[in-house]
Amino acid sequence: MSGLVPERRVIRLFPEYSRDWPLWENSTPTWDVGYTTTPKMYGLSEALTRDMAKWNALWEANFDPFEGWKSDEAREQWREEGLSIVTRLRAEVADFADVKYEPWPLGSWDE
């Protein structure tokens, strides 16, 4: 019977170019969701979905993989908003998933 129940899921949160959502998940043998995911797949609130879209757009507009951040202010704003988003995401999916935060554009991070 336990084979029918999905393993505890791990949602990865990180930005990537040309993706609307910074949400990713490795499928498991009991839970085949693909790799890229959406807020709707997790039943996220409208407020978190909206703020996550703004956070992703802020990154797209202010970070270049070769040049880095357009400004220290944009980097700091993105960092602060990311901490809020990961905290809220963890709360909203706590019943079925853990969240791994991977803000690679910051170079290093403390969770």
pLDDT digits (tens, 9 = 90+) for 10-60: 899 999 888 889 998 876 555 556 677 899 999 999 999 999 999 999 999
CA–CA gap between residue 72 and residue 74 (Å, rounded):
6
Q: Which tokens in the block code for residue 37?
A: 């995911």
85 touches 52 (CB < 8 A): yes
| CA distance from start to end of the chain | 36
Q: How far is CA 52 from the centre of its chain?
A: 8
pLDDT of residue 2: 46
> How high is the pLDDT of residue 8?
79
